[in-house]
Amino acid sequence: MFLLSQPTEILAQRYVSLNVDNDLYFGIDRYYSSGIFLGFGTQQKRSFDPSSWKNWVSQHWTLGQEINTPTLKLTKDISRMDYPYNGWLFLGYEEDWFRSPDLGLGWGLSFGTTGAKASLAQFFQNTYHIYILKLDPLSWAAAIPQAFHVNAKTLFFWGKSLSSKLKWVGRHQLQAGSFRTAAESRLGLQLGSLPGLPFFGSRLEVLQNGISFFLGTVLEYSVHDYSLSGSVFSSNSPFSLEATSFRNRYQFGFFGQHLPWKFHVLWNYSSAYISNQKYRGHPFLNITISYLF
């Protein structure tokens, strides 16, 4: 049971987290089928200055892997695949500056590799399928080619209280690089006792036991996504698939905090990322567990 208390201000704070995306919770295994992210972060609270954007400064490191899978996972016939096989293994850094717990800026860099073997996606996915699920290995007959990538991003966070428990919140992101180039806005309503913006990353600006809920959407315009169409500079993808430019994702989530633990569950339902994929929508669940120390 979560107990409410006053915010706990901490001059220096660290966390470790395990963040998992998967669609197996819904009995399926396709499209964006898996994401595993290990996180570590620190924060320093400076002397409060109402005019400063650096009242709270936090650094976040992520080691992550994403896996894409077509609907027909065992076929070796590329013409029957409605989504590309792809693996993405990366290391990311993000730095956030907050003027108040409801207003902040951020920037980040990431670098990594695609490729079935280089990203370890084929190995981890088939090991899991064979030894845990007791299923046949996926064919990985063709995949988006191996390549090294660098990406950069900027972020803007905000929240506006509508009542003592209800808040209108948003996060806007621009990212550019050889892996992904896109503009994204995540908007929604946050209901509950937690202050700040707990649904937008590993927030440490104010810490308080309690629970909150989130209902919202993610709107994205994608200029280029290597994980779906290969290089923007050359036609190196083995698939004749067309990635969509406009995408949206509906979300409903729960966030519970009982220090030093945080627990986050977020249901996602995304629109089609490939124009002719067999199923027009795709559900997946995110579960994140964090420990503060």
Weakest-pLDDT range from 46-50, 127-131, 252-256 = 46-50
Give the pLDDT score at 254: 98
For the cut 60, the answer to whether the pLDDT of residue 1 exceeds it is no
Torsion-angle region of 97 (φ positive above 0: left; ψ -120 to 50: alpha; else: beta): beta
Q: Specify whether the CB–CB gap between 259 and 8 falls below 8 A.
A: yes
pTM of the model: 0.93
| Listed residue (88, 74, 75, 33) closest to 279, CA to CA | 33
Instruction: Report how far residue 216's alpha carbon sits from residue 208's, in angstroms, rounded to the nearest whole number.
Output: 23
Mean pLDDT of the chain: 94
For the cut 80, the answer to whether the pLDDT of residue 45 exceeds it is no
Q: Which domains occur in the chain, in start order?
A: 12-292 (2.40.128.140)
What residue has token string 């898996």? 34
Residue 167 pLDDT grade (very low, low, confident, very high; cuts 50, 70, 90): very high
User: What is the average per-residue pLDDT within 71-100?
Assistant: 97
What residue has token string 């994702």? 249
Instruction: Report how far residue 92's alpha carbon sits from residue 17's, in angstroms, rounded to the nearest whole number.
Output: 14
Instruction: Report how far residue 120's alpha carbon sits from residue 114's, in angstroms, rounded to the nearest whole number.
Output: 9
User: What is the average per-residue pLDDT within 253-266?
Assistant: 97
Give the pLDDT score at 219: 98
For the cut 90, the answer to whether the pLDDT of residue 6 exceeds it is no
Give the pLDDT score at 8: 42
Task: For Cα atoms 281, 157, 44, give the angle at the middle one, nearest 5 degrees.
Answer: 125
